[in-house]
Structure 1
Amino acid sequence: MRILWNEATSGAPEMEPLWEMLQGYFPRVACPGTEVELRHAAVSGNYIRSLYTELLNNRAVVETCIQARDEGFDAMVLGCWADPLWEAREVMDVPVVGIGEAAMLLATTLGVRFAVITVAPGVIPTIELDLRTYGLQERAIVRPVRALDPPSDAGMLLESIEDPHRRLIPNLERVARECIKDGAEVIVVGCGYYGPILTLHDYNEIPGTGVPVVDCSAAGLKMAEILADLYHSIGLHKSTALYFRQPPAEVVERVRHAHGLA
């Protein structure tokens, strides 16, 4: 099985330890025989902590899917919570999975109420919109999306690859315990990088609470494997009745050409 991991940034060289971490992480989570290919966006401002910059970045994310359409991938994972999931799912034949949707759906099987802890306040509106779009508000706590405080930055991210106990885990636990007081039975890590970092350091529960911590990237990768396997074994596929029906190919190409993409 071949899975495309669609990374929403351009792969900045100074973040190379992060990309190396992900390459080592995929075999830890994926089934034996699953090949995961990490591919970066061709164009990215590497900043998605606002709705406008996310909109600009999303075009490049969908383009990565389109460019890889004929390369034989069995499924595609959009590796950032700020994703154009429904747009990408519409134009692709193979399963397209968003790590945010997959993680929140998984959380509903682990407890009645969940909360999402993301990297910065600017990401909260995007994830709150996801909750409403996916119809999961009733399964989340009041103020269901909260941010690390202080917010994450590149330094904290790179540092956490080797030592998440210095800043990441204490920061996460402070916010998580507030969520637990408000009724959260599951904590979802709202970042496609911090989830893998915690997994690689065997961190999967808020200590002393019994509350599991969901690695969103693991949820996305396993969901992609499941959907690809179900397609190949019993023919289960996305609905083409309404939302995810592909527009005519010639229309897609005409519009892409008008925007300088083809």
Structure 2
Amino acid sequence: MKIKVINPNTTLEMTESIKHAAEHMARKDTEIIAVSPKMGPISIESYYDEYLSIPGVLEEIKAGEEEGVDAFVIACWGDPGLHAARELTDKPVVGIAEASLYLASMLGARFSVVTVLPRIKTMLEELVDSYGMSKKVVNIRTTPLCVIDFENDPVRGMEMLRAETKRAIEEDDAEAILLGCAGMAEFADSLEEEFGVPVIDGVVAAVKFAESIVDLGKKTSKLKTYKYPERKEYTGLLTEFAHK
């Protein structure tokens, strides 16, 4: 089985960390291809970043169709471009936020998300609501760190996550913790061991869901919503994005 894990930002060091987390938990017969797009922001921390990351994600989905990929994972906790990606392929496409939310709902009745900068809280609240999880997610806790800070200073990153995880359990009555950034994958096991509650890294969750969907022989429905895009002309910078 071949799973392509797309880090929607262009920070290659983070892509390598994501690949390590995915390979660590994937089956031995699963090949992980971890990539960053050729274009896009170095990190995603706003609506602007998220929307401009999507063309690069879609390019990697198209390339994956030619690479013989069996499933795709979009490794950003905003799940940028997830629905558009599903229109480009009949292979399973799994977002890490989607996967971690669904997994957490099977492990705890209430859970909190711990993530990066405060400015993305509203973005994630809207995302959680779109998945019908607003009643289960009791809080979205932010830290003063940006995405790249967790890569560059993992010791401080762990301190921030530990503090917010403790508050989530004591103040939110959270029964599980979701790490709201693909760059936090390396911290999940240590936090779970320390606090004794499920701590879910979305990259690992998404890879395991992708493996299961492929094993079940299921593909993305092309009946209506996720059918292939209509053929039409695109102009300017988007010329190459016209569906052929």
**Secondary structure of the equivalent of 2:190?**
coil
Partner of 2:129: 132
- Counterparts of 1:16-165 in structure 2 under 5 Å? 18-82=14-78, 83-141=80-138, 144-148=139-143, 150-152=144-146, 154-160=148-154
In the TM superposition, residue 256 of structure 1 has moved relative to its aligned partner by 7.3
1:255 aligns with 2:234: yes
Number of residue equivalences: 239
Superposition RMSD on alpha carbons, in Å? Answer: 2.1
In the TM superposition, residue 257 of structure 1 has moved relative to its aligned partner by 7.6
Query: Given that residues 81 and 191 in structure 1 are in contact (C-alpha distance below 8 angstroms), is that contact kept between their aligned partners in structure 2?
Result: yes
Query: Given that residues 113 and 183 in structure 1 are in contact (C-alpha distance below 8 angstroms), is that contact kept between their aligned partners in structure 2?
Result: yes
Partner of 2:226: 244
Counterpart of 2:238, as a letter, is H
Query: Given that residues 173 and 206 in structure 1 are in contact (C-alpha distance below 8 angstroms), is that contact kept between their aligned partners in structure 2?
Result: no
In the TM superposition, residue 255 of structure 1 has moved relative to its aligned partner by 3.3
Q: 5+ residue gaps in structure 1?
A: 161-165
Counterpart of 1:217, as a letter, is V
CA shift digits 1:48-68 (9 cap, x unpaired): 211122111112112211222
Partner of 1:173: 162
Query: Given that residues 117 and 190 in structure 1 are in contact (C-alpha distance below 8 angstroms), is that contact kept between their aligned partners in structure 2?
Result: yes
Find the aligned partners of 2:24 and 2:53 in 1 and give their Cα distance: 29
**Secondary structure of the equivalent of 1:45?**
coil
Find the aligned partners of 2:163 and 2:20 in 1 and give their Cα distance: 29
* TM-score after normalising by structure 2: 0.89
Find the aligned partners of 1:218 and 1:155 in 2 and give their Cα distance: 21
In the TM superposition, residue 96 of structure 1 has moved relative to its aligned partner by 0.3
> CA 1:153 to 1:94, structure 2 compared with 1: closer, same or farther past 3 Å?
closer
Counterpart of 2:3, as a letter, is I
Find the aligned partners of 1:112 and 1:25 in 2 and give their Cα distance: 26
Partner of 2:187: 198
* TM-score after normalising by structure 1: 0.83
Find the aligned partners of 1:88 and 1:242 in 2 and give their Cα distance: 14
**Secondary structure of the equivalent of 2:5?**
strand
1:213 aligns with 2:199: yes
In the TM superposition, residue 158 of structure 1 has moved relative to its aligned partner by 2.6
CA shift digits 1:158-188 (9 cap, x unpaired): 332xxxxx32222112212222222211100
Q: 5+ residue gaps in structure 2?
A: none
Q: Percent identity?
A: 30
Partner of 1:163: none
Counterpart of 1:207, as a letter, is E
Counterpart of 1:151, as a letter, is L
Query: Given that residues 61 and 72 in structure 2 are in contact (C-alpha distance below 8 angstroms), is that contact kept between their aligned partners in structure 1?
Result: yes
Find the aligned partners of 1:260 and 1:59 in 2 and give their Cα distance: 12
Moved more, 39-48 or 19-28: 19-28
CA shift digits 1:166-211 (9 cap, x unpaired): 322221122122222222111000111212x125xx4251635x32
Find the aligned partners of 1:108 and 1:126 in 2 and give their Cα distance: 20
Partner of 1:6: 6
